[in-house]
Structures are given as structure tokens and as C-alpha cells.
């Protein structure tokens, strides 16, 4: 471990020891999550919280972890930074949560970091792939999957080398999330991997993409990098199809790799052309795996939903990770023991189809990158990139 990381670890673990009992009793451990239950990324947060709570409920019904039941307290920030800050304040100071699990959004997480950092409160598996979730290194930061930047860099490089991408335009939200996609495209263009075309900024509530797509077509881009909300992605790609841009390829990072995107586009006559780089594998092609089919049945029974979406996969993955860490931390639970336990995890997650492994200098649970493409309404694995 280098000197900077060592000092960071020592400082945060000292804080953990001083305030280690917050949110922990002999019978309960309280976890918090600030989610988007009402905004543009609700298709991720809603199923993620459903899947996590279903998993926690099963653990609690079996007696909990070391005799402690898990209480997962959820606040809705609607993908609005001020509301996220308010949610963090409530969860930390009123609810006194032990750790955060699956906080959604890049700008919202960054706002909450200002309150988490002074106390070293663990932030586990946030629903964002921003580099800031693990960079700069802090002992309380634990990401679930590879960053937007790493996934986009590897995926778009592959598309240039194997899928005919020569010129890339960008349609992005002007946020840290959008900047991750932009940075990866800029770096690939600087390497000469492809040419970079027009960049178009969008608002979170924007719904008409006709003009933007006209600019893409006029600029001669064969591929578009999207960093938009889930509904916006569906709208943009469907609009391109209606405009006759059927040969245009679209790329989305983790935030667009969602079951609802594939199904909604198929209903609108778009059967292919959208690529996604993410840190887990889609479920549909893996239903023959007994572990996958069993969990799908459990999720349906617990939630009443027809089929678990990408958000549900992430929720299930994060919940298991937390439970395994609580088990490994032992009955004398402190933040120090919890952090050490997280850093000791090494197992295969059959639901996400990825290896989960962390260490004292590696706080990203899964480093694998899976490039998928929509084919007839389903995500099809193109290549596993590492």
C-alpha cells in the first residue's frame, strides 16, 4: 500500500473506531440508501430497492446476521442534488445509519460525500459508474462495477476495431455522468481510434431529439455515445429509427444497460443497433442456469414483478455483498471490521455473472466489462472485456 493510501486508511479507520457503533445494536444494523424513485433514473432505483429488500427480508427471516436484523432505510431524492443532500443529512444524523448502500446518481453521490467523508461512513455499491466513486482512493468508498470511463473506453475501442465505428458524436447530459462518457471518447479520439464529431448537451427533462439527431446525421457520425436518462435513451434511438438512421450505432454505458430499454425499443420497431458496456451480464440468455432461474422465481414471488430488470440485478448483487461483509466482520461489528471484511471478499455472483473480488487497494467489486447489443428486443452478449 502506498503512503497516501496508507494515511487515508489510517485516518478513516480511526474515525470508524470512534463512531463504529452508529446504526448498530445487538439486534439491528441500519443501512441507508438515497435513491431516485421519482425521476429519470427511477427504472434503476425502484427495482434495485425491491430486490435488495427481498434479499434482506429473506436474511432477516432466517435470523439476520449474527443475530442482527437488517433495516434498509430509503429516501427519494428524485435525481436532484439539494434533495440528495437533505436525504444524507437525515440518514446520517436522524436515522444514524451504519453504512450507505446503492445511493443512486453521480452528482447526488458527490453531494452526499461532503457529509459521509468526515465520519468515514462506508458508501457501498452506489448506482453510478463514476470514477469519483473510487477515485481518489478513500477507505470508505466501495464501487460495485467498473467505471463509466473504463467501460466506455474498452467498449468503444472494441466497436472501432470490430463493429465499424469510425466517427462518434455525443448526446449527453452536462453532468459528471455525461463527462465520463465524453472523456473516454475524447481519449480514444486523441489516440486516433476514431474521429470525434459534434457534442450536443441535453437537459434531464428534454424529450424531443429530432434536431440533435439531424446534427448527428449532418456531421456524418456512424456512432453516437449517449449519456441520458433511461426514457431519453429510448426516445432518442426510436426517433433515429423513424428518421431513417437505421445504420447509426448507439452506445450507452451502465446507466443505459437496462432491460426496459431493450423491450421498449422492440415495441417501437427498433430491433438492433444499441450497444451497452456494463459490469454485469443480462439475465435472459442465462435462465438455464439453476441459480438464475431460482432467483427469478424468488424475485417474482417477493415483488409481483414479471421479470427482474437490470436494476434488480444490481440490487440483489449489492445486498449479497453487504450481507457477506457483515458475516465476515463477525459479531463485534464496527466500521473498521466492516471495511476489512469488504476488502476480503472473493466470490462468483451467478446473478450478475461476474466475479466479485476486492482488496485493501482495490475497492471495485467487479472489474469485468460486458459489451452487449440489443438483438430482437433482448440484450445479447457481444464480448467480455477486461
Question: Can you give the pLDDT at residue 354?
Answer: 96
User: What is d(CA 335, CA 350) in angstroms, rounded to the nearest whole number?
Assistant: 28
Reported residue count of the chain is 386
Nearest to 169 by CA among 210, 201, 126, 123: 201
User: How far out from the chain centre does Cα 75 lie?
Assistant: 18
Cα distance between residue 6 and residue 20, in whole Å: 20
**pTM score, whole prediction:** 0.88
How confident is the model over 226-232, as a mean pLDDT? 94
Q: What are phi and psi of 111, to 5 degrees?
A: -65, -40
pLDDT score of 2: 36
pLDDT, position 254: 87
Please give the C-alpha separations between residue 298 and each of 58, 213, 276, 291, in angstroms, as whole numbers. 10, 42, 27, 11
User: Which domains are seen in the chain, by residue range?
Assistant: 3-145+288-367 (3.40.50.2300), 148-278 (3.40.50.2300)
Residue 385 has pLDDT above 60, yes or no: yes
H or E element at residue 272? strand 272-278
Task: Report the pLDDT value the prediction gives residue 271, as an integer from 0 to 100.
Answer: 83
pLDDT digits (tens, 9 = 90+) for 145-178: 999 999 999 999 999 999 999 999 999 999 888 9
Q: Is the pLDDT of residue 7 over 60?
A: no
User: What is the CA angle 294-299-303, rounded to 5?
Assistant: 155
Q: Which residues contact 248 (CB under 8 A, 6 or more apart)?
A: 216, 217, 221, 222, 223, 224, 240, 273
Cα 288 to the center of its chain, rounded Å:
25
Average pLDDT over residues 2-23: 47
Chain centroid to CA 377: how far?
A: 22
Work out whether strand 249-252 and strand 223-227 pair parallel, antiparallel, or are unpaired: parallel
Classify strands 354-357 and 369-375 as parallel, antiparallel or unpaired.
unpaired
Amino acid at each position: 500500500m502506498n503512503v497516501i493510501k496508507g494515511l487515508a486508511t489510517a485516518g478513516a479507520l480511526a474515525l470508524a473506531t470512534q463512531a463504529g457503533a452508529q446504526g448498530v445494536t445487538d439486534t439491528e444494523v441500519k443501512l441507508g440508501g438515497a435513491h431516485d424513485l421519482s425521476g429519470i433514473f427511477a427504472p434503476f432505483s425502484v427495482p434495485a430497492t425491491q430486490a435488495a429488500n427481498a434479499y434482506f427480508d429473506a436474511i432477516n427471516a432466517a435470523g439476520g446476521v449474527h443475530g442482527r436484523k437488517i433495516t434498509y432505510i430509503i429516501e427519494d431524492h428524485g435525481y436532484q442534488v439539494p434533495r440528495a443532500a437533505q436525504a444524507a443529512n437525515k440518514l446520517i444524523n436522524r436515522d444514524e445509519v451504519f453504512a450507505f448502500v446503492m445511493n443512486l446518481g453521480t452528482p447526488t453521490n458527490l453531494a452526499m460525500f461532503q457529509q459521509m467523508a468526515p465520519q468515514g461512513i462506508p458508501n457501498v455499491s452506489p448506482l453510478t459508474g463514476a470514477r469519483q466513486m473510487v477515485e481518489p482512493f478513500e477507505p470508505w468508498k466501495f464501487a460495485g462495477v467498473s467505471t463509466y470511463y473504463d467501460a466506455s473506453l474498452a467498449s468503444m475501442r472494441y466497436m472501432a476495431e470490430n463493429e465499424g465505428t469510425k466517427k462518434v458524436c455525443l448526446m449527453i447530459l452536462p453532468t459528471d455522468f455525461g463527462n465520463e462518457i465524453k472523456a473516454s471518447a475524447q481519449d480514444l479520439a486523441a489516440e486516433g481510434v476514431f474521429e470525434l464529431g459534434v457534442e450536443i448537451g441535453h437537459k434531464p427533462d428534454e424529450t424531443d431529439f429530432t434536431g440533435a439527431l439531424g446534427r448527428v446525421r449532418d456531421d456524418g457520425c456512424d456512432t453516437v455515445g449517449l449519456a441520458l436518462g433511461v426514457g431519453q435513451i429510448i426516445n432518442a434511438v426510436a426517433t433515429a429509427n423513424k428518421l431513417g438512421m437505421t445504420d447509426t450505432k448507439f452506445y450507452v454505458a451502465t446507466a443505459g444497460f437496462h432491460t426496459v430499454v431493450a423491450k421498449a425499443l422492440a415495441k417501437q420497431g427498433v430491433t438492433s443497433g444499441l450497444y451497452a458496456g456494463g459490469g454485469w451480464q443480462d439475465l435472459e440468455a442465462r435462465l438455464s442456469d439453476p441459480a438464475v432461474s431460482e432467483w427469478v422465481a424468488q424475485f417474482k414471488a417477493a415483488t409481483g414483478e414479471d421479470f427482474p430488470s437490470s436494476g434488480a440485478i444490481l440490487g440483489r448483487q449489492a445486498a449479497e455483498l453487504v450481507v457477506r461483509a457483515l458475516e465476515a466482520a463477525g459479531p463485534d461489528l464496527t466500521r473498521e471490521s466492516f471495511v476489512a471484511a469488504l476488502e476480503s471478499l472473493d466470490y462468483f455472483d451467478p446473478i450478475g455473472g461476474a466475479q466479485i473480488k476486492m482488496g485493501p487497494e482495490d475497492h471495485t467489486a467487479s472489474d469485468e466489462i460486458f459489451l452487449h447489443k440489443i438483438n430482437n428486443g433482448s440484450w445479447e452478449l457481444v464480448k467480455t472485456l477486461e
